[in-house]
Amino acid sequence: MNLKAKHIHISSGGALVAVLNSIDAAKMDIHTLDRIKLFRGRRVETVTANITESDALVPEGHIGVFEEVSRALKLRDGDRMTIILARKPLSLEFIRRKLDRQRLTKKEIDQIVWDIVHNKLSDVELTYFVAACYTNALSMRETVLLTKAIASQGEILRWKKKPILDKHCIGGIPGNRTTMVLVPLMAAAGYTIPKTSSRSITSAAGTADTMEALACVTFSNEEMKKIVQTTNGCIIWGGALNLAPADDKIIRVEKPLEIDAESQLLASIMAKKFSVSSTHILIDIPIGKDAKVKTSHEARHLRKHFEALGRMLGKRVKVIVTDGSQPIGNGVGPALEARDVLWLLRRDPRRPADLERKCLMMAAEMFRMVGVKNGMQRARELLDSGKAYRKMVEIIRAQFGHEIPPEDLRLGKFTADVLAKKSGTVRDIDNVVISRVARIAGAPLNKGSGLYLYRHMGGKVKKGEKLFTIYSESREKMRYALDVAREQESFYIW
């Protein structure tokens, strides 16, 4: 059947979707979620069909195309296309096998990942794959195969010298900006450390959001290579690179379900490390009631599997378990966290001591991994001498930023203080509430929004003293954030 293209001007978020009028669908015996092939000249795409009875949306004789289909086929309104029924993706049979608790082969896993990357699976079908891996855990061999398949479907960066250092934090802790200290520190020591980082999904800032307060973070693979070749390191947003593209699609369907299959967590992290050819990888697992990993038992279990997966991939992996019971540092939000980092690198008296302790400990571990003794002392020398700070400035400039005094970072012009309701010792801090208040204030989208902490657990406080200050670039957001901060307990004092 030949039909005319009609733009719907809606994005599916990745999947290739087209909409048929119910009369045309009936003529071809096409049903909702069937696959159809669209031919326009030499271009062809397999898409998922939806059906409408609305002539206003898609008249008879037309086919409505979502933005992804329009781009793939370079369509204009009125372009004629040939439509035929297509077979379902091969990977559906393999997903059913996993639902039935069967082990998957390399060929089967490769096909599933290929179909994910090329948008051959609908969100429903991809969700079934995620659910299958969640309920029927992948074996270690399957996890290795999944890791390699995810990495191989994107570009793999190669470097002329080794070792290639990398680090990753499981996440969930406000203000935990160790990457922005470790990258310039290790690069200043002469090691290559190409760090791709994420933007925030539920927190007040991801590493990429925070670095963006100082420099550009969106680069192509070739641009990233030039930055690293010039400076030894980078801190850029991984979402702009063609590295492990299947991973982002898997994460997108995991979020609404709030599930994180262990095998997919392992494969997700290690595939991205595999993609940048990391040889020595430090994994930070913070534990705490509000962290992603709640108990030391869970952390030890994950550590065992990360290190085993690393060995099977030919990588040296070291896992550390750290305290995730409270925010790390004082700033929460991109510019406020960037200010903490600059204060630390510049050896300013206002630098957060807890963030510095953690960074020194992690740097010592990274030095130990590459055979350097007295790593803690070496790391401290790089900080105290100013070499780490000068390297950070070099990286910032290579990423089209410029050196800026921490005090000149633009913070939200609307501020409000949250005060202690009674005197005592801070016994607990709710990380979830802290992140929520910072996000309501405008972080991470508004770089100057967030909050600044004056107290941490174990600290003494008197009634009426400041616990934290909220910053916002909007008066309305400030009012709402302050209301939430007053209604939802974040500091527990007794």
- The domains of the chain are located at 2-85, 91-136, 165-241+270-398, 411-493
Q: Residue range 314-333: average pLDDT?
A: 97
The DSSP letter of residue 240 is G
Looking at CATH, the fold of the domain delimited by 2-85 is given as Barwin-like endoglucanases (2.40.40)
Pick the residue with more confidence: 234 or 42?
A: 234
Architecture of domain 165-241+270-398: 3-Layer(aba) Sandwich (3.40)
Helix (H) or strand (E) holding 350: none
Residue 200 has pLDDT above 70, yes or no: yes
Q: Residue range 89-104: average pLDDT?
A: 95
Identity of the residue numbered 406: P
pLDDT-derived band of residue 258, with 50, 70 and 90 as boundaries? low
The DSSP bridge pattern shows strands 316-323 and 450-453 to be unpaired
Quote the pLDDT of residue 23.
96
Pick the residue with more confidence: 254 or 169?
A: 169
- The alpha carbon torsion through 73, 76, 81, 83 (nearest 10 deg) reads 70
Q: Report CA 402 to chain centroid distance, whole Å.
A: 25
Tokens of 394: 């070099």
Burial 168-185 (b: 16+ CB within 10 A, else e): bbbbbbbbbbbbbbbbbb
Q: Report CA 262 to chain centroid distance, whole Å.
A: 16
Quote the pLDDT of residue 360.
98
Average pLDDT, the chain: 94
Q: Three-class SS of residue 235?
A: strand
Residue 370 has pLDDT above 90, yes or no: yes
Residue 59 has pLDDT above 80, yes or no: yes
- The alpha carbon torsion through 318, 322, 324, 326 (nearest 10 deg) reads -140
* Cβ(137)–Cβ(265) below 8 Å: no
* Cβ(69)–Cβ(75) below 8 Å: yes
The DSSP bridge pattern shows strands 2-7 and 17-21 to be unpaired
Residue 70 has pLDDT above 70, yes or no: yes
For tokens 């290190």, name the residue. 307
pLDDT-derived band of residue 489, with 50, 70 and 90 as boundaries? very high
Q: Report CA 373 to chain centroid distance, whole Å.
A: 33
Quote the pLDDT of residue 292.
87
Taking the C-alpha atoms of residue 176 and residue 327, their distance in angstroms, rounded to an integer, is 7
Summarize pLDDT for 274-300 with one digit per residue, the tens.
Answer: 999 999 999 999 999 988 899 999 999
Q: In percent, how much of the chain has pLDDT > 70? A: 100
Give the CA distances from residue 455 to residues 116, 462, 463, in Å, rounded to whole numbers and listed in that order.
46, 11, 13
Tokens of 107: 């060929």
Residue 257 has pLDDT above 80, yes or no: no
The DSSP letter of residue 199 is P
Residue 119 has pLDDT above 90, yes or no: no
Based on the residue annotation, tell me whether 260 is a catalytic residue of this protein: yes
The DSSP letter of residue 57 is T
- Where helices occur in 401-440 by DSSP H, the ranges are 431-440
Q: Residue range 183-199: average pLDDT?
A: 96
Taking the C-alpha atoms of residue 47 and residue 57, their distance in angstroms, rounded to an integer, is 18
Number of Cβ atoms within 10 Å of the Cβ of 263: 20
Report which of 339, 351, 470 is spatially closest to residue 412, judged by C-alpha positions. Answer: 470
Looking at CATH, the fold of the domain delimited by 411-493 is given as Aldehyde Oxidoreductase; domain 3 (3.90.1170)
Give the CA distances from residue 366 to residues 104, 231, 254, 269, in Å, rounded to whole numbers and listed in that order.
35, 19, 31, 18
Q: Residue range 99-121: average pLDDT?
A: 94
Q: Pick the catalytic residue from 123, 260, 348, 430.
A: 260
Quote the pLDDT of residue 248.
83
Quote the pLDDT of residue 142.
97
Could you give the angle at the alpha carbon of 349 between the alpha carbons of 346 and 354, nearest 5°?
90
Burial 129-140 (b: 16+ CB within 10 A, else e): bbbbbbebebee
Q: Residue 340 — φ and ψ, nearest 5°?
A: -55, -45
Residue 198 has pLDDT above 80, yes or no: yes
* Cβ(165)–Cβ(366) below 8 Å: yes
